[in-house]
Structure 1
């Protein structure tokens, strides 16, 4: 029997394990379930972990699944998830297989689905800092918008060339201008966002070749030096 302190400050004796034991039990149970679902032995899972470059011996996996392992390093969770073709968060919060869990020590049990959403940042928690994640999500969205605009613009350009009537050509030209403007607007916002990210000291995501003109060209230092000498 353990003692849990809840958010309202009260203490209550219960038969639930401590928070860290619950987390380990979630991972162990989900690893065991997914391993058996694939028809693998503990040895086969161990071999797949070794192939990924982080060996986890069979006896360590067996002890984890049976609850005899005292600790559970994060790196092991990451490799076990990759070996089982899932995400680490899905091992920690097995949605649909564990109804409720604790997010932190002394907290009330909450639905596992809600805990997972807060863990991944899908659900905003007041006062929490998401870092640059929202900016990178916006970056990805702008890239998709710009690429879609360029693709549709090219289709409209082809439709204009192959139009069999003046009306078809005019409609295709309108569509081409519409999607061209969409691509230009998205690329402009991308340029500003990438500049702001660099000012924050962040490394900006790579751009697809079709958007290589988003970033302004780097100054030619050799040319600048020559001009200064002149």
Structure 2
């Protein structure tokens, strides 16, 4: 079944003429590609040229056929590259929040709001996911790492302020700031240790740690890190 762009939800459609799920997904992406391309005032050829610059050529006629509903399939790699070329994220082509009323996540499911579909697709929901715990540990690691690096940068600035203080009052204030930063660093490191212990326990791949945070890990041999596997 060939799905036309107008059936992607941008126009009202007859409930008795609900398109097949695969056609619906492809038509939604095609309609959003076309909308964003026109918003950016890009021709199909300019979009094709940009895809080639990125490293994954998508010919102009392929883009035209996709937008008109004549293309039979839409590989995931094409969605990824088209998103980059159109200055957006792949998920925003699949579930264009704010530009479509509803989407169909899976065959035989009732249509739902794009936001709900995106939450599910990006594992932000509270459902019973097989990898829910690992995702939570990895998110916690990312947040704790960001906090540790920010606190270390602030501590370095505070240390400079201590060394260059021109009065006892300035030095005392800088020392208090430095102590607060050191406390933040310690708390962030503890969060990292906890997250990494859970990842290690579940036989997950430990995220890379920069050298300045090498003391977070214990001295004994441990699971591979992301950097070691690359």
**For this structure pair, what is the TM-score category when the shorter chain's length is used for normalisation?**
0.7 to 0.9
Q: Distance in 2 between matches of 1:45 and 1:84?
A: 8
Distance 1:86 1:49 in 2: 13
In the alignment, the residues of structure 1 paired with residue 148 and residue 206 of structure 2 have an alpha-carbon distance, to the nearest angstrom, of 17
SS at match of 1:14: helix
Report which stretch shifted further, 147-156 or 70-79: 147-156
Residue 65 of structure 2 is aligned to residue 92 of structure 1: no
Report the Cα distance in structure 2 between the residues aligned to 1:160 and 1:55, rounded to whole angstroms: 55
In structure 1, what is the equivalent of residue 5 of structure 2?
Answer: none
Mapping for residues 123-202 of structure 1, pairs under 5 Å: 124-131=125-132, 132-202=134-204
Cα separation, 2, equivalents of 1:99 and 1:157: 54
- Compute the TM-score of the two structures, normalised by the length of structure 1: 0.78
Q: Are 1:61 and 2:63 counterparts?
A: yes
Q: How big is each residue's C-alpha offset from its partner over 1:34-59, in whole Å with a ceiling of 9 and x where there is no partner?
A: 12222222222222223333222222
Counterpart of 2:32?
30
1:121 touches 1:130 (CA, 8 Å); kept in 2? no
User: What residue is the counterpart of 1:40 in the other structure?
Assistant: 42
Q: Give the superposed CA RMSD.
A: 2.5
1:116 aligns with one of 115, 118, 123: 118
In terms of fraction of residues, the more strand-rich structure is 1
Q: Shift of residue 13 of structure 1?
A: 6.2
Other structure's SS at 2:216 match: coil
Q: 2:138 touches 2:195 (CA, 8 Å); kept in 1?
A: no
Question: What 5-or-longer segments of structure 1 have no aligned partner?
Answer: 1-11, 220-230
TM-score normalised by L of structure 2: 0.78
- Cα distance, 1:160 vs. partner? 3.3
Q: Give how far 1:217 is off.
A: 4.8
Aligned to 1:224: none
Task: State the distance in 2 between where 1:151 and 1:83 align.
Answer: 35
Alpha-carbon distance change, 114 to 166 in structure 1, aligned in 2, over 3 angstroms: same
1:207 and 1:31 map into 2 onto residues whose CA distance is 38
Distance 1:164 1:67, change over 3 A: same
Q: Does the aligned pair in 1 maintain the 2:95–2:117 contact within 8 Å?
A: yes
- 1:5 match: none
Structure 2 residues not aligned, in runs of 5+ = 1-13, 222-230
SS of 2:162's partner is: helix
Q: Does the 8 A contact of 1:150 with 1:183 survive in 2?
A: yes
Structure 1 residue aligned with 2:6: none
